[in-house]
């Protein structure tokens, strides 16, 4: 499916979808327990994959669109052995979180996913599960799915790298709470995407599960129970970033874009507000009301460290293409291990739209002074975040921009193009 975007001016109010990160964690936390109503969940492809895994483990997830809830029956801490292979689709978060959960199973669980997911590294998590008394193997012996996991992980202390994926830490903390011994995670390297672990700890606390920071990393005591009658999912700042960027580069004269649902939480991607401010955007966040207002502004390039906010790289790259001067996105090597290599992908697709960029192993520079965006046919590469960022670029490019793979926004922001159109953008999907 293709999206066709032509230069537009946007205005009005919009609401970004609920947080994908919180929805994943809430569904699995509810699965570890004995029953929870998850309100305002993100009902999209990735959380559905986590819901399928909870069901395969012996729980049940009922999505009620009318009531805007997911009713979860849990598997009471210890997952059962699924009747079939568990397909995680394109969801890396699902695979990593449920891999540690499967380490608790008495028998063996087999996980697979689509071609993109089967290319993503899982090795450190597999090694960790084995160190904690479980079994965890890659069928191709390359640290990538398909995976075989189980044999009753008991807990203990494990050392893992922190610079591959914070989801490894999240997975071990969530599973460790119900092990006999608990789990202490010692980080061998600096932790990237650290705010995502704080999201996990926030969700676990809401389910009455204790965790703690240690000098070496994190620890979760064992023999705990997950308990929550209801859990409400906050709005998603990763998804808000595209709407805020659209307002900053394409709002109509004298008007603004107001993004609703922006209540404070542990989400690292709320940094998009501070990044826009540093670039000179006219942006205001009413935290009590949960609303962010942004107007079209004269932007200047800045340096942004995305060590903790990898999902913002595509948005920042587009802002940099519109800004004066250079925008340098640094500490970005781990962003290469997402649904696609987002560093190279954004460099190549923005170049095809006339941007001047410099790609290094751990950084991406966008030279706004040497950039005049023009419409082109660009490839979203099966990555929802690339699709949305490139669509925003199309709002200010000269001529029509065609974004291939538009359907992938269903992963995190169903209705994204409808939302853009409601704000006044000239966009069509076919």
Find the CATH number of the domain harbouring 300. 3.65.10.10
Contacts of 371 (CB under 8 A, 6+ apart): 321, 322, 354, 355, 356
Instruction: Mark which of 232, 247, 273 sits at the end of a domain.
Output: 232
Tell me what pLDDT residue 338 has: 86
pLDDT at 337 over 90: no
Tell me what pLDDT residue 350 has: 98
19 φ, ψ to 5°?
-70, 130
Residue ranges for the known binding site are: 20-21, 25, 92, 120, 165-167, 193, 311, 338, 342, 385
Rounded Cα distance between 31 and 70, Å, is: 12
Tell me what pLDDT residue 426 has: 98
367 and 379 belong to one structural domain: yes
212 and 252 belong to one structural domain: no
Helix (H) or strand (E) holding 128: helix 123-131
Instruction: Mark which of 211, 232, 253 sits at the end of a domain.
Output: 232
Tell me what pLDDT residue 16 has: 86
Neighbouring-strand partners of residue 403: 3, 378
173 and 302 belong to one structural domain: no
% of the chain surpassing 90 pLDDT: 94
59 and 8 belong to one structural domain: no
Write the DSSP symbol of residue 398. Answer: B
Residue 339's pLDDT band (cuts 50, 70, 90): confident
Mean pLDDT for 90-110 is 97
87 and 195 belong to one structural domain: yes
Helix (H) or strand (E) holding 31: helix 20-32
97 and 155 belong to one structural domain: yes
Helical residues (DSSP H) of 271-324, grouped into ranges: 271-279, 313-322
pLDDT at 26 over 90: yes
260 and 366 belong to one structural domain: yes
Question: What amino acid positions are annotated as catalytic residues?
Answer: 311
Domain that holds residue 193: 20-232
**3-state DSSP percent of the chain in helix, strand and coil, to 5:** 35, 25, 40
Of 325, 361, 326, which is closest to residue 343 (Cα–Cα)? Answer: 361
Rounded Cα distance between 179 and 172, Å, is: 10
Residue 290's pLDDT band (cuts 50, 70, 90): very high
pLDDT digits (tens, 9 = 90+) for 351-400: 999 999 999 999 999 999 999 999 999 999 999 999 999 999 999 999 99
Residue ranges for the known binding site for phosphoenolpyruvate are: 20, 92, 120, 167, 342, 385
pLDDT at 164 over 90: no
303 and 425 belong to one structural domain: yes
Q: What is the mean pLDDT of the chain?
A: 96
257 and 356 belong to one structural domain: yes
54 and 127 belong to one structural domain: yes
8 Å CB contact between 56 and 71: no
Instruction: Mark which of 164, 197, 232 sits at the end of a domain.
Output: 232
270 and 227 belong to one structural domain: no
239 and 226 belong to one structural domain: no
Rounded Cα distance between 84 and 303, Å, is: 48
Assess whether the previous peptide bond of 146 is cis (omega < 30° from 0): yes
Mean pLDDT for 188-214 is 95
pLDDT at 242 over 90: yes
Rounded Cα distance between 316 and 272, Å, is: 8
pLDDT at 159 over 90: yes
Tell me what pLDDT residue 201 has: 98
How many distinct structural domains can be found in the chain? 2
Evaluated on CA atoms 359, 365, 368, 370, the torsion sign reads negative
């Amino acid at each position: 499916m293709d999206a066709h975007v032509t230069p537009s001016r946007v205005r009005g109010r919009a609401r970004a979808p609920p947080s994908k990160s919180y929805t994943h964690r809430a569904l699995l936390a509810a699965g570890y327990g004995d029953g929870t109503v998850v309100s305002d969940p993100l009902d999209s492809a990735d959380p559905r994959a986590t819901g399928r895994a909870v069901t395969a483990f012996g729980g049940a997830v009922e999505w009620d669109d009318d009531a805007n809830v997911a009713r979860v029956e849990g598997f009471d801490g210890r997952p059962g052995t699924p009747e079939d292979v568990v397909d995680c689709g394109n969801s890396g978060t699902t695979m990593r979180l449920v891999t540690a959960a499967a380490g608790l199973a008495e028998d063996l669980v087999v996980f697979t996913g689509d071609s993109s997911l089967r290319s993503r590294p899982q090795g450190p998590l597999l090694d960790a599960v084995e160190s904690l008394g479980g079994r965890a193997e890659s069928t191709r012996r390359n640290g990538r799915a398909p995976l075989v996991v189980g044999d009753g992980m008991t807990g203990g202390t494990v050392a893992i790298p922190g610079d591959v994926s914070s989801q490894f830490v999240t997975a071990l903390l969530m599973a460790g709470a119900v092990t006999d011994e608990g789990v202490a995670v010692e980080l061998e390297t600096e932790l990237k995407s650290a705010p995502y672990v704080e999201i996990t700890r926030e969700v676990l606390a809401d389910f009455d599960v204790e965790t703690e920071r240690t000098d070496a990393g994190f620890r979760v005591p064992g023999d705990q129970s997950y308990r929550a009658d209801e859990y409400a999912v906050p709005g998603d700042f990763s998804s808000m970033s595209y709407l805020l960027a659209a307002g900053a580069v394409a709002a109509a004269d004298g008007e603004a874009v107001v993004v609703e649902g922006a209540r404070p939480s542990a989400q690292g991607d709320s940094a998009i507000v501070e990044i826009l401010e540093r670039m000179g955007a006219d942006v205001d966040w009413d935290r009590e009301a949960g609303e962010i207002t942004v107007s079209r502004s004269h932007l200047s390039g800045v340096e942004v460290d995305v060590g903790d906010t990898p999902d913002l790289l595509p948005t920042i790259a587009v802002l940099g293409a519109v800004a004066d001067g250079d925008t340098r996105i640094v500490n970005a090597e781990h962003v290469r291990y997402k649904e696609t290599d987002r560093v190279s992908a954004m460099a190549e697709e923005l170049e095809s739209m006339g941007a001047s960029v410099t790609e290094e192993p751990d950084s991406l520079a966008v030279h706004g002074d040497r950039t005049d965006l023009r419409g082109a046919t660009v490839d979203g590469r099966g990555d929802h975040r690339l699709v949305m960022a490139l669509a925003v670029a199309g709002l200010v490019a000269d001529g029509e921009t065609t974004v291939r793979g538009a359907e992938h926004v269903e992963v995190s922001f169903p209705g994204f193009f409808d939302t853009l159109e409601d704000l006044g953008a000239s966009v069509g999907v076919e």
